[in-house]
Chain A
Amino acid sequence: KAGVTQTPRYLIKTRGQQVTLSCSPISGHRSVSWYQQTPGQGLQFLFEYFSETQRNKGNFPGRFSGRQFSNSRSEMNVSTLELGDSALYLCASNSEGVGEQYFGPGTRLTVT
């Protein structure tokens, strides 16, 4: 079974720009979660999608958004980038029932 794929692996953007990150979950999984990882704040939950609907959302500003497609692939978008958005963004493919999450390698975003 193929694992979770995230693209791109690395990104460098300038303040004020926007960025889109992509995640392909494990085949058969219908739920995808996104997390932000920074040295200062650690791992923080962004949002979760299930069957194309946002089911849960963390405490992040509206600049952070996401969507999920019918094939379960998910994208997250960050608009008007700030220096503080520099982080590792992790996508997790969720196994239904026991809440087991399988993480991708992440996208390292650097905002300059």
Chain B
Amino acid sequence: AQSVTQLGSHVSVSEGALVLLRCNYSSSVPPYLFWYVQYPNQGLQLLLKYTSAATLVKGINGFEAEFKKSETSFHLTKPSAHMSDAAEYFCAVSDWGGGADGLTFGKGTHLIIQP
């Protein structure tokens, strides 16, 4: 069974500082990995995805994530935080194409940006 662990339910950073949101996964097959963002009262928006191509994945809004198989991690980073980045972030894993359970999400990390 797949699972995702997001370390830190809340992360607070200053505007302009580095954003680092942690995600570790477990999967019995090579995974597809995703990061989604959710703003209040909205659905989820795809930030980026890893599908076994390049291990460093660039997404929208200046975010990127690096797939590290040895660490089973897929941490999300952004060099300089902006106030508009304040939102809930979800890491998700899927073995789409071979599995039957849809996306498995982490519990989410609430990103707070301090002015």
Interface residues of A (CB under 8 A from B): 4, 6, 33, 35, 42-43, 45, 48, 55-56, 58, 90, 92, 98-106, 108
- Separation of A99 and B46 alpha carbons in the complex (Å): 12
Q: Is B75 located at the chain interface by the 8 A CB criterion?
A: no
Q: Which 10 A-B pairs have the closest CB atoms?
A: A99-B96, A45-B102, A103-B43, A43-B105, A103-B44, A56-B100, A105-B43, A99-B94, A98-B51, A42-B107
Q: Please give the number of chain B residues whose Cβ is less than 8 angstroms from any Cβ of chain A in the complex.
A: 24
Nearest Cβ on chain A to B57's Cβ, whole angstroms: 12
Q: Which residue on A lies nearest to B100, using beta carbons? A: A56
Contacts known (A43-B90, A90-B43); A98 close to B103, Cβ less than 8 A: no
Q: Which residue on B lies nearest to A57, using beta carbons? A: B100
Question: B43: which of A42, A99, A104 is its contact (CB, 8 Å)?
Answer: A104
Q: Which residue on B lies nearest to A48, using beta carbons? A: B102
Whether B43 pairs with A56 at a CB distance below 8 angstroms is: no
Chain B interface SS verdict (over half):
loop
Q: Which residue on B lies nearest to A42, using beta carbons? A: B107
Interface string of B71-113 (1 = CB under 8 A from A): 0000000000000000000100010110011111111100000
Whether B102 pairs with A98 at a CB distance below 8 angstroms is: no
Interface residues of B (CB under 8 A from A): 32, 34, 36, 41-46, 49, 51, 90, 94, 96-97, 100-108
- Separation of A42 and B6 alpha carbons in the complex (Å): 12
Most interface-central of A48, A90, A101 (chain B CB within 10 A): A101
Whether B43 pairs with A33 at a CB distance below 8 angstroms is: no
- List residues of chain A with CB within 8 A of the CB of B100: 55-56
6 contacts between A and B (CB under 8 A): A42-B105, A58-B102, A90-B43, A98-B96, A102-B46, A106-B43
- List residues of chain B with CB within 8 A of the CB of A43: 90, 103, 105, 108
- List residues of chain B with CB within 8 A of the CB of A33: 102-103
Q: Which residue on A lies nearest to B90, using beta carbons? A: A43
- Separation of A105 and B42 alpha carbons in the complex (Å): 5
